[in-house]
Every structure is written in structure tokens, then in C-alpha cells.
Structure 1
Amino acid sequence: MRQNISRRGFLKSASLLALGGTLLNVARVVPAASKGLRLGRGQVFSYDALIKRAADMAKAPYQSPPKPRPDIVQQIDYEAWGNIRFRPDYALFADGPSAYPVTFFHVGQFFQKSVKMHVLEHGVAREILYSPDYFSMPKDSIARKLPNDTGFAGFRLQESRKRDDWRTQDWIAFLGASYFRAIGALGQYGLSARGVVVDCAEPTPEEFPDFTEFFIEGAQKENHPVSIYALLNGPSLTGAYRFSIRRTEGVIQDVEAVLFLRKDVARLGLAPLTSMYWFSEAEKRQREDWRPEVHDSDGLAIWNGNGERLWRPLINQPFAVTSSFADKGPKGFGLMQRDRSFENYLDGVNYERRPSLWVEPLDDWGPGAVQLVELPTDDEIHDNIVAYWRPEAPARAGESYRLRYRLHWLADEPYPAHVARCVATRIGRGGQPGKPRPKGVYKFSVEFAGAALDPLWGDTVKAEPVVTASSGTISDAFIEPVPGTRRWRAIFDLTPNGSDPVELRLYIRGNGDALTETWLFQFRERPTA
């Protein structure tokens, strides 16, 4: 995955750039996509040329993206920003030729940097020039004081023009730093993806590189890919991205990224995902909230290079905690929302419909680790979960990385395992009902569901839980069916030895074979109220 970009690619880019003067006459033709929008002068574009730009930028000092009139933008708070809406009639591709129109976000208090937008047709890119006329806003909006060259904060793809509701329904959005998100198969936004992670959960402040320019090439038909190209810039690195995005049952997004490091990076995270987890059935504290559960994702799933399926329930940690799952050539990983029962949320914000997001490497990523960062939170407004791939080799200045992967924004994993999966983790006091409960002993009930457990209903399979702990003592382990369901649960008691966290590992074995994925959990004692 880590490699030097070939000289042939640079030469190809240089050749295309040299043709610019010849092709600019063609570029002056007004494209069909531009109705109602003001466009800049045409420039020849290629992905190879974008890669060269990123490589050249990495050799120069970092320059932050422009922030138009910070004194005004800072006053466009969340409520004021929400009242500024892009007029659909001005949408890029509103009348074709692409199947999916594009609308744009205004700058505001939380999105203060302006991002250049370009429409790309027939290898020619034209910048989409900002105008306040594109937006409807209240007459007294502070945004009316911004200059005419303010620029946009981001963009989103609307549903197909064949749909009557395309003006109000979108399916993928790029907004803020290098963040982007898409709806899943259940038609709801939730967690986000990012271009890259730089020094997350390090002693030094995290760095948030920006997508500073986008080049948008429409899809001629529904189900055909929309191509998005993006230039990334940050104090420690630069990058060029190519997204091929298809609107399917959910959203499928092929990503190609080339990164160049300006500086050493202590923690480089590739193909990162960001989500929110407050509490679930596993660890809700007394009187924390009236709802049973609140989370965009409830666990990290990993299909490692050896073929083992792992499930790590998310935890609202008391402080920043990073867990590392070493691997070589992973088959995939993702932040999943497995609990789809409305009764477990009882909220109108549709947590039961939030998408799961799976990362599928499209080439060999070599040795490294899937890392999970869990930050503490006391509310649902904070994204406190990050998962990404960290290469084993140190990230040094002058290095370059090229990687390809596919993002699956769906309701579930795109490649279901043949073993049963974990569907609930419950923790309580250890010991037996009706008897004095021993202090400092905790009971775990881990529920599994799937066809692989069907033989347990007969007498042909001898099954048992396989439980290990990094410290402490495991006792009273057994399995039993969950009444009224087709689920089985593994139950055991843990007696910790000291205050250090305990790494737990569990699966159900039948006739010598694993019948379930491997459940992982990091347990630490903490106050219950």
C-alpha cells in the first residue's frame, strides 16, 4: 500500500497540462449542466494531474483554506445556518444531463472554510462561482452581509431527477474538513467517513485536514456511478482522492486515495469511520436518560486476514481509550448498527434506521492494525467513536501512500458470516439469584443469533462457551436458549483481579468448530450510578 508514485504518472499529467491551451477553446462551450449557475473558465482536468498537484503541495509550506469574513460567519449559528437553504432550481444538473442533481451548503459557524467546487465534463473542469442568489435566507440573516465571493462549505447529491421528491431528498453529503456521509438501505443518515485521520487520541491536538477542492462528474443514468475528485490539504499531509459512487439499495462508494506526507505523523489512520455511541443495553447508568439506548453504531466488526470474524461492542469509556487489533491483509471492518428494534430506542430520530458502514480493501494492505478510539461523552451530540486502519510502518515525512477500498453504506455487513453473530451484551451482578451476591463479581450474558446455532436445538451437537480473560477469574460458564426466541446466550461470571481493565474473549464451540463469531470486550470497574 505504501509506495512511491510512478514517474510515468507524473509525465502523463504534465502532458495533459501542456494540452491546456489547445483545449481551452472547447472549454468555453457552456455545458448543459450549468443552467442558472455562474461558471469560471475551463481548465483541462485529469486525476493524474490532481495527484501531481498534491505531490507538489506537499513540498511547499502549508496554507490554510480561506475563511471568508470570520466576524460574520461566526455569527451564523446552527439555527441561522439551518435557515439558509440552497434553491433547488439552481442545482447542478437540475435539468440534466446527470441523473442526480447537486446542491451546495453555505458557510457558517461550524463550517467556516470555503471549498472550491467544479463541474467536470469531457475532461474539462469549470469552477462553480458562488452567488448569494443561489440561497434562500431570512431578510435579517447576517449572511446577507457576506461578500459575493464567499464560496461554498460543501455539497450533496440529490435523489434521481425522476423522483418527485428529489428537491428535498439527498443521499450523500460532503461537509466539513474531510468528512462525508451517506444514507444506508433504510434511508437514514448516521455515522460519517473521513478522508484521513491524523494524530487522533494522541497527547498533541488532533489535526483535521480539509478537502479544499471538489470536481464533480455526473452519472448519465440511474445506478451509474457519480465520479467525485477531491484535493486534500493539511499541515502534515496532502492527498488526491477519486470517489466512484453508486446509489443502490444503500450507497456503494469506491475510493482511491494517494497521500503525501509533509511531516512525520505519530498516528496515521486510513479509511477512517466516525460515529456516536452514548449507551446501550450493556452499560446504561442509572437515570442517564429516559430512552433504553442511544447510539448511531453499537459495535466494531472485523473480518481479519485469517478469516476470523470479530465483534467488539462499543463502550462509552471514562477517558480516551485506543484498542488495537493487529492484522495482516484484512478482509474488511466496519462500524455496525445491529440493533434494529424501535422498542430499544423509543425515539423519533430513527436510531434503528442508521446505516452500518463497512470498509472493504480492494488491494493488499499488508501488516498493521484496525484501531478503535472510544472517547467519553455525556450526550448524543458528540461523535466519540473512530475506527481506521493504521499501517505498521511509521509514517515519515516524504512517504507516499496509495490505497483503494470500497465503502458499503448498508443496513448490515455486505458479506455475512456463516457463523452466528452477537446481538446483545448484558452485564449485571454475579452470583446466583436468591443467594447473597458476592461483591466484586460480574455476570455477563452474551446473546447470539444465526442459522449456525440451529443444530443446538437437537441432541447432535455438544456445545460449550469458550471464554478467556486477560486477568481475573472466569467461573460458572454455560450456554442456554433465550426463552421465546431462536437465540442462544453464553453466561459467565468474572471476578477481576485489581483495577486494570480486563480483555475478554468468547465464542460458542460445537463439536470442535466455532459456531459464532468471536466476541471481544474491554471491562473496567466503574461506579454504577
Structure 2
Amino acid sequence: MLLAITAGGCFNLAAQQDNTPLVDPVSPIAIKLNTEVQPTVLPPVSLEQTSKARFAKTASFDSDSVVKIARRLAQKPYVTLTDPLPPGLAKISYDEYRDIRFKPEASIWKAEGLPYQMQLFHRGFYFQDLIEIALVEGKQATHLAYNSEYFSAGDVLSQRLPTEDIGYSGLRIHYPLNSPAYFDELMVFQGASYFRALGKGSDYGLSSRGLALNTAEPEGEEFPIFRAFWVERPNTDSNLIVVHALLDSPSVAGAYRFSVRPGDNTHIDVEATLFPRIDLVKVGLAPSTSMFLHSMNGRQNTDDFRPEVHDSDALLILNGRGERLWRPLANPKQLQVSAFMDNSPQGFGLIQRERSFEAYQDLEAHYERRPSLWVEPVGNWGAGEVVLTEIPTDSEIHDNIVSYWKPKQAIAAGSEFHFTYRLIWGNEPEVDDGTVIVARTASGRADIAKATPRRLFVIDYQVKEGNNDEIPVAQVQSSAGVITNVVISRQPKTNGYRLAFEMDPQDAELIELRAELKFTGPRDVETWLYRWTL
């Protein structure tokens, strides 16, 4: 899913039926190895002759280089970097922008036979900002200046590509993820501080961000941007690639280091240091952004042939007490924000648990192949809360779900705030044998007599590699309204249980629900949480 950043939020530029990077008609990019055509080697343009690089310069480089740049940047007032595109490119259309494609034969490191290749995104359309890129080898960084020979343009684009160093709008990393014979698109950095990655066998879905500021606040969200990237040359005998990034915004500067290891699940270790210019009060660490249109627990106003449409179906939290919380997502009528207080969380993330084609019935979007994104804090993150923001939407092209960690204490201006976490793209976290997890949530009318009728909730549970011999006791709590007709029974299709109950909202317009299964002995069971709104 490709994101365009606006003053009010983000939305998907590519329709879900396409599900491709904006600049290419096919995704993932598959570059065949060992072709008979010899690759074209296109060296970067000389920095000294053409580049106006401010950050990703040709210079010595070490592990602290980006941290030092961010520290110096934060000591000065924020300056909007204005690097206008040539007039012909500044106002090109969506179709014209898609017509500018990176030449696969020009991929960085292609001629060297390394385990990774890198391609670049052109500037234009919504991606106007100049992003600087440097290649790092040993202790030396070399600025990668814009080169029009890296790109081809078809018949749609009527403008000539520039010759001066206009920079890029982002980059993407390729790796033979699914087959040794092809370099698949593995990871993309493009648009503000957004990035996304894939595990083996998955398609692009939700995105991550470097930082979230003032999300869903009346004063408007602030979108920090990755101004520059330093990409380390990968080793021939390792599947590790390291990307450094410089973050900047009116409120904060920061240095990020991404250590990427692809696989069935792709692991990205993130080390970040923030240098706030102001007190960061409404800050979100390790934010994720996804799309939820409807599922079987929210189809009241849906006219769609597909049973479910979403990139993620729930927020999963493993809190500091070891409790597993499963919160199905919603597409509310009004914006809503939920906060789950915790101390030293073990993990949280937006999960796509429903993996059957039958649940979506979409031959083009294939939502069953969208990755989950799990966040594992490294070290003690202290007190705070996992925040979930759900924004109303009537279209699957909009990303309307945001989750992140909000520290209890503001990050003070002038301080240096370091945090580390791991992102896992692909499957959701494994659970021990015998663990009872939520397999499905559905809801509907329980009667037709009232203007605001009772709601029927049906929750299916699955026992992972265990038995469902014991029928547990079901406890359902609500913050308002009245709960009746609580029934728990075996669910043979999921090797688990089905919990059903009715809820009469009475005069309430918002109700928090909580369901737990109690067994006679110790057993790991997910706690089901839900917010019902009128």
C-alpha cells in the first residue's frame, strides 16, 4: 500500500485491486538473475560537480554519524527545506508519475552479484520532497546523486527528465525472498517517515512510520520526514542489510538505524535517538498504519459483495503482566481513540489473523496475504499506553487505523531520547500449545423490535495444538447496557469454543466490552475486548 501524506493524514494512492508500488505496474518487482543481457552499470554523478547535498554527503561515516547530524540539526530552529522540482515535473498527474520507472538493469549492486539490490523512486506527483541518499562502504559514504539514466519513461509522460541533481523521493530494497531466481521487492521507504516490508509469501498491506506526532488531534497531525538515507553495502555471505535515516520535523530531529533480515518473517531491528526541539507530549513510538473497512462484526452500513475488507483485523497486545489482549478493529461513524495503559509492554501490533480466501472473496486484492506487523520493545519502555486510533472511512483506499506506544512522560525539549524495538513483518507471534486464541468475531441484530435493537455477539475461539475437552466458564462485562443470554459451547470447526451473548445498549452510545474464558486449571487464553458505538 502506497501512502500520500497530506495535512490531515494519509491515504492509499494505489487502489487495493492494484496493490502495487505507485511507480510500477507490477508488484512485487521480479528481476530475473543470470539473464543473457549484461546489466548496464551507471555510476553515481559526482558530488563535487552537481550535488547540493546537505546531509548525505560524500564523507567519512561511522555508527554515530547520523546521530551527530540529528543532534546538530535539533540545536537550530526548524527550516523548511524547499527544493522545488522543475516546472514540468511539479504538476504531473498520477498516470504520468506511474510512467516513470526505474530500470531494473540499473539496480544498485546488480552487477556485483550481492544478495541485495536497490532501486530508487523519482520525485513528482504527491512525492515532491527531495530525499538524499548515500551509499556506505567501510568507513566511507558516497553521495548518490540523481541520474536520469536510471529511469525510463513511456508515452504517457510528456515531460523530459531533468539532468540536474534533483534527488529522489525514496528507495526500495530487493531480495530473493520467495525464490532464489528472483529479486522480490522486500522493503520500501517513501513518503514522510513511512516504510513497509514483506515476509515470505505476503503482499504489501499495512505500513510503519518512524514517529507519530499529534495523531487525531484537533490542531492537526505533524508528519516528520526522513530527509536522508545512508545504505550500507551488503556482504556477500550475509542476509543482513543496514539502512540509516535522518528524521526531521518542526518538533524533533532524529537518527534511525534499520537492521533488516528477510525470511518467512522479516525482522527489522530499529535503533532510534530523538532530539526534541519542544516537549513531545502527544508522541507515538513505533507507529503502524493500516486499513479496516468492514468485517463480520461491522457490516451494518455495508453494501459490498465481499464479506470482509481489511489489511488488519485486530490489535493484539501482550502486556507487561503477560496478558494477551485481542481487540477487533472497527470502522466507526465518528473518530475514536482507545488507550490501553501498561508498564513495560512485551509486544503489540496490528494483526491479520483471518487467512482464508473465502473470508474476503477478492481475486485481485487478496487480503488474506496481507502481513501482520508485530512490535517487540527492546528493554524497559516504562509506563505508558498502547493507543489505537480508528478513523471513519467509506473506501478501502484510505488508511484509517493507527496504533503506537505513547510514553506516560513527555519527552523533554533538549533531551536525547533513545529507544530500540524489533518489527516482525509476516505472520503473527507464535503461541504455546494449548493456548486459546480468538479466531473470529461476528455481530448482528438480536431483534427487530426496537429503534436501537439488542446486539448479538458471536466469538469463536481456537485451541492451538490442544483439546477442547473442558467447557470453560464465560465472563462478559460491559461498561453500560445489559448483557444477557451468555452461552459457551464447543466449536468443532476451530477445535475450540463459541461464545455468544446479547447486549442491550439501552440509552448508551458507547460501551466497552470484555469477555474472558475461565478454566479450572491454568491456561493461556486471549482476553477479548471491543468498543461498541451507536
**Residue among 270, 293, 312 paired with 1:278:** 293
Partner of residue 37, structure 1: 44
- Aligned mates of 1:316, 1:107 — CA distance in 2: 33
Matches within 5 A, 1:64-103: 64-69=80-85, 71-96=87-112, 98-103=114-119
Instruction: Write the deviation string for residues 434-491 of structure 1: whole angstroms up to 9, x where unpaired.
Output: x9789631111111112376243xxxx3511111111111111121123544231111
Matched, 1:217 2:226: no
Partner SS, residue 55 of structure 1? helix
**Residue among 125, 148, 172 paired with 1:109:** 125
Matches within 5 A, 1:172-211: 172-211=187-226
Matched, 1:478 2:487: yes
Matched, 1:465 2:456: no
- Aligned mates of 1:188, 1:48 — CA distance in 2: 34
Distance 1:137 1:185, change over 3 A: same
Distance 1:415 1:449, change over 3 A: closer
**Residue among 420, 434, 441 paired with 2:436:** 420
Q: CA deviation at 1:146?
A: 3.8
Distance 1:485 1:462, change over 3 A: closer
Partner of residue 241, structure 1: 256
- Aligned mates of 2:208, 2:484 — CA distance in 1: 41
- The one-letter amino acid paired with 2:151 is F
Identity %: 37
Matches within 5 A, 1:444-455: 444-451=457-464, 454-455=467-468
**Residue among 352, 356, 379 paired with 1:341:** 356
Q: CA deviation at 1:343?
A: 1.0
- The one-letter amino acid paired with 1:516 is V
Partner SS, residue 321 of structure 2? coil
Q: CA deviation at 1:39?
A: 4.6
Of stretches 267-276 and 243-252 in structure 1, the one that deviates more from structure 2 is 243-252
Distance 1:147 1:519, change over 3 A: same
Partner of residue 322, structure 1: 337
How large is the RMSD of aligned CA atoms in angstroms? 2.3
Q: CA deviation at 1:75?
A: 2.5
Partner SS, residue 368 of structure 1? strand
Contact 1:125 / 1:215 at 8 angstroms: preserved in 2? yes
Q: CA deviation at 1:340?
A: 0.5
Q: CA deviation at 1:325?
A: 0.4
Distance 1:74 1:292, change over 3 A: farther
Distance 1:317 1:386, change over 3 A: same
- Aligned mates of 1:438, 1:211 — CA distance in 2: 50
Q: TM-score, length-normalised on structure 1?
A: 0.87
Instruction: Write the deviation string for residues 365-390 of structure 1: whole angstroms up to 9, x where unpaired.
Output: 01001100111111011111111000
- Aligned mates of 2:210, 2:302 — CA distance in 1: 38
Q: CA deviation at 1:287?
A: 4.6
Q: CA deviation at 1:517?
A: 0.2
- The one-letter amino acid paired with 1:50 is V
Matched, 1:411 2:427: yes
- Aligned mates of 1:244, 1:484 — CA distance in 2: 40
Q: CA deviation at 1:414?
A: 4.7
Matched, 1:231 2:238: no
Instruction: Find the structure with the greater CA-based Rg.
Output: 1
Partner of residue 371, structure 1: 387
Contact 1:59 / 1:262 at 8 angstroms: preserved in 2? yes
Distance 1:320 1:72, change over 3 A: farther
Contact 2:294 / 2:302 at 8 angstroms: preserved in 1? no
Q: CA deviation at 1:265?
A: 3.1
Matched, 1:56 2:56: no
Partner SS, residue 111 of structure 1? coil
- The one-letter amino acid paired with 1:489 is R
Q: CA deviation at 1:497?
A: 3.7
Partner of residue 499, structure 2: 490
Q: CA deviation at 1:130?
A: 0.3
Structure 1, unaligned runs of 5 or more = 1-32
Partner SS, residue 80 of structure 1? helix
Of stretches 350-359 and 405-414 in structure 1, the one that deviates more from structure 2 is 405-414
- Aligned mates of 1:230, 1:208 — CA distance in 2: 15
Distance 1:302 1:107, change over 3 A: same
Distance 1:317 1:436, change over 3 A: closer
Partner of residue 396, structure 2: 380
- The one-letter amino acid paired with 1:80 is E
Distance 1:135 1:474, change over 3 A: same
- Aligned mates of 1:171, 1:384 — CA distance in 2: 24
Structure 2, unaligned runs of 5 or more = 1-39, 49-57
- Aligned mates of 2:159, 2:413 — CA distance in 1: 40
Q: TM-score, length-normalised on structure 2?
A: 0.86
- Aligned mates of 1:333, 1:506 — CA distance in 2: 19
Partner SS, residue 494 of structure 1? strand
- Aligned mates of 2:236, 2:334 — CA distance in 1: 48
Distance 1:164 1:515, change over 3 A: closer
Distance 1:387 1:473, change over 3 A: same
Partner SS, residue 393 of structure 1? coil
Partner of residue 518, structure 1: 527
- Aligned mates of 1:416, 1:218 — CA distance in 2: 38
Matches within 5 A, 1:150-165: 150-160=166-176, 163-165=180-182
Distance 1:234 1:224, change over 3 A: same
